[in-house]
Amino acid sequence: MPLNSHEIAQQRHLKRHLTFWRFMAVAVVIIGLIAVSAVTINNKTFSIRQQHIATIEISGIIYRDDRLLAQLKKIEKSDKVSGLILIIDSPGGTVTGSEDIYLAVRKIAAKKPVTALMRGVAASGGYISAIAADQIFASSNTITGSIGVIYQWPEYVELLNKVGVKMQTVKSAPLKAEPSGMVPLTDEVRQQVEISVKDSYDWFVGLVSKRRDMSINNALRLADGRVYSGRQALAENLIDAIGDIETSQQWLKNQLQQDGKPYEDLESIDWTPPLFEQAGLNRFLKIQINSIIGVKVFDINSTKNISSTGLMALMLN
């Protein structure tokens, strides 16, 4: 039954009110989060003017994170930071992202003591972050190791053939933009991929050998891609001890005491980039706003997409 003009006007009026209150709900949530973030930042700014131990979390998939690297640079240069605790809970990520963290942490370790604390997972690129520290602690059931490199891509040429799609390509050389899922893998391309993977793998194994003070042969024995529990990692000299945050703090204070530097009553201050700035929260807010308004206002996949051509996306595994 068709609606009369009065009913149509009433429905439009209700929709306008509903949209208004949806916007108000989103505004309240955003303002609240900004306020909490601002208070946190202000408190942290005040606290870091005093001598302290810095902590910073490395979690999730590792890729180049300029905010994290900026924080590590500030920790390196700050004369108010006596030492650093890396808290790691990551399954790994890109080779370059892991290398960025490793180099940044080594610069800090040249000036002040650094310890790594492995939480649930510190494997592959997460392990690279850990071995940059002077001392590594883990829980007895932490998952670590997974020393290796992997490069994967989908090959969908058969699907294209079935639907009648043919890709035409003009390129300067046969290996340009290879491997590609649009064409069958050739022996030449596979060989080049294997060379690149082997090169990154050798770099990884070399780091393990150097930082854990073991022979290359022993590092190779451990670097077959398997994972280790914290207990197994300790037995294989991949970590230094089983411990927790208090153990890490005590180790740092012992190091400072040996160096004749102030160590008593040092507060631990979190230097992890503020939650409100992190992509995870941004993505969450976008999802919630889209849901509340009922319209796709934000593209939730528009930030921090990892894309690459060819071998730029080598992953540690």
Give the residue from 37, 76, 38, 39 showing the smallest Cα distance to 56. Answer: 76
- The amino acid that residue 298 corresponds to is F
Report pLDDT for 295.
54
pTM (two decimals) = 0.74
Handedness of CA 66, 68, 74, 77 (dihedral sign): negative
Please tell me the class of the 5-147+216-297 domain: alpha beta
Q: Which residues are catalytic?
A: 124, 176
Single-letter residue type at 83: G
pLDDT given for residue 88 in this prediction: 97
Among 304, 282, 285, 310, residue whose Cα is nearest residue 93: 304
94 has which bridge partners?
Answer: 315
**142 class by beta-carbon count within 10 Å (0-12 exposed, 13-18 middle, 19+ buried):** buried
The torsion angles phi and psi of 184, rounded to 5 degrees, stand at -60, 145
At residue 61, φ and ψ (nearest 5 deg) are -70, 130
Residue written as token pair 């996306």? 313
> Which distant-in-sequence residues (6+ apart) come within 8 Å of 63 by Cβ?
93, 94, 97, 304, 306
Q: What are the tokens at 29?
A: 């949530």
Q: What is the pLDDT of residue 306?
A: 37
Q: Give dist(CA 285, CA 300) in Å, integer.
A: 9
Query: Which pLDDT score is estimated for 199?
Result: 94
Q: Using CA atoms, how far apart are residues 132 and 230, in angstroms rounded to an integer?
A: 18
Give the residues of the chain that fall short of pLDDT 50.
41-43, 46, 276-279, 300-313
The distance from CA 73 to its chain's CA centroid, rounded to whole angstroms, is 17
Q: How far apart are the first and last CA of the chain?
A: 62
Tokens of 182: 């649009």
The number of CA neighbours under 13 Å toward the Cβ of 244 is 1
In the chain, residues under CATH classification 3.90.226.10 are 5-147+216-297
Contact (CB, 8 A) for 58 and 257:
no
pLDDT of residue 249: 94
Of 105, 95, 25, 102, the C-alpha closest to 63 is 95
Report the alpha-carbon distance of residue 11 to residue 17 in Å, rounded: 10
What is the pLDDT, as a whole number, of residue 237?
97
Output the pLDDT for position 174. 83
> What per-residue confidence (pLDDT) applies to 166?
82
Q: What is the pLDDT of residues 143-182, one digit of tens each?
A: 999 999 988 888 888 888 888 888 888 888 888 878 888 8
